[in-house]
């Protein structure tokens, strides 16, 4: 499985000077490079106004990792995730400005900067192709079709040029609609489960 991360926010790529509350693009993608941290981000963005206890977060992440309900996870599975979150992942996310981690209270909450960032995953499994390659292939087919119509290759000459033009426009329009729907479904923090869990 191949993952491509995409982020969109006013503070990223805007060309301006970052304020202390903003997350740098490098820090954000470094945080999102790890699955457990992506799961933590998903959980926090799903409930942006609430602080989450580390125990609750560890329980949910362990369930997602093992593809089971939270009621089915074992104490060792929960402890393994809890320890990693407390000692490594959450401090790293806190340093990056993604979360506010209160180790003494055992709670974590998203920073305003994280709330303002939209994160998407492009999950490519098996023989699937990423959208970028799909559009490249579609453009190649469209170019070949236009060339065939232009030089008068049979049977493309049986239909008027306007019909082929309309067919190409419709193909790109339907592709764009499908891509928009797919992208919305792959937004981190949008659904009950992280996008990559739903793709398994």
pLDDT in tens, 81-128: 999 999 999 999 999 998 999 999 999 999 988 887 777 766 556 567
Considering the domain boundaries, does residue 105 fall inside one? yes
Residue 18 forms part of a structural domain: yes
Q: How many domains is the chain partitioned into structurally?
A: 2
pLDDT confidence of 17, banded at 50, 70, 90? very low
| 196 inside domain | no
Q: How far is CA 148 from CA 31, 139, 157, 175, 188, in A?
A: 48, 14, 8, 22, 43
**Inside any domain, residue 194:** no
Residue 197 lies in a domain: no
Quick check: 18 pLDDT over 60? no
pLDDT of 63 over the 90 cut? yes
Query: Are 8 and 107 part of one and the same domain?
Result: yes
Task: Write down the pLDDT at residue 19.
Answer: 44
**151 within domain boundaries:** yes
- Do 68 and 116 belong to one domain? yes
Last residue of a domain, one of 70, 93, 120: 120
CB atoms within 10 A of CB 46: 18
- CATH number assigned to the domain comprising residue 59: 1.10.10
In this structure, the answer to whether residues 65 and 10 fall within a common structural domain is yes
Helix/strand number for the chain, H first, E second? 9, 5
166 vs 21, higher pLDDT: 166
- Averaged over 168-182, what is the pLDDT? 91
85 and 21 inside one domain = yes
Query: Is the same domain home to 67 and 134?
Result: no
pLDDT of res. 6: 56
Structural domain range at position 86: 2-120
- Stretch 65-88: mean pLDDT: 95
In a domain, 192, yes or no: no
* Average pLDDT of the residues of the chain: 83
- 106 within domain boundaries: yes
User: Does 107 share its domain with 10?
Assistant: yes
Res 198: pLDDT: 58
Query: For 70-89, what is the mean pLDDT?
Result: 95
- Look at the block and give the residue holding tokens 């236009």: 146
User: H or E stretch including 161?
Assistant: helix 161-185
> Please, is 113 exposed, middle or buried when counting C-beta atoms within 10 Å of its C-beta (0-12, 13-18, 19+)?
buried
Tell me, yes or no, whether 163 and 102 share the same domain.
no
**Pairwise CA distance, residues 55 & 83, whole Å:** 10
């Amino acid at each position: 499985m191949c993952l491509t991360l995409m982020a969109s926010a006013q503070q990223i790529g805007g060309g301006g000077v970052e304020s202390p509350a903003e997350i740098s693009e490098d820090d954000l993608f470094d945080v999102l490079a790890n699955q457990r941290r992506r799961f933590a981000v998903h959980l926090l963005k799903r409930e942006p106004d609430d602080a989450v206890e580390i125990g609750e977060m560890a329980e949910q992440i362990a369930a997602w990792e093992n593809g089971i309900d939270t009621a089915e996870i074992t104490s060792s599975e929960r402890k393994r995730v809890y320890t990693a979150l407390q000692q490594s992942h959450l401090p790293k996310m806190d340093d990056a400005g993604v979360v506010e981690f209160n180790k003494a209270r055992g709670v974590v909450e998203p920073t305003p900067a994280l709330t303002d960032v939209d994160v998407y995953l492009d999950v490519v499994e098996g023989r699937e192709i990423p959208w970028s390659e799909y559009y490249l292939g579609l453009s190649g087919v469209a170019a070949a079709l236009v060339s065939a119509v232009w030089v008068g290759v049979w049977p493309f000459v049986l239909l008027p040029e306007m019909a082929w033009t309309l067919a190409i426009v419709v193909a790109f329009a339907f592709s764009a609609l499908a891509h928009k729907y797919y992208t919305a479904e792959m937004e981190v923090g949008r659904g009950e489960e992280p996008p990559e869990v739903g793709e398994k």
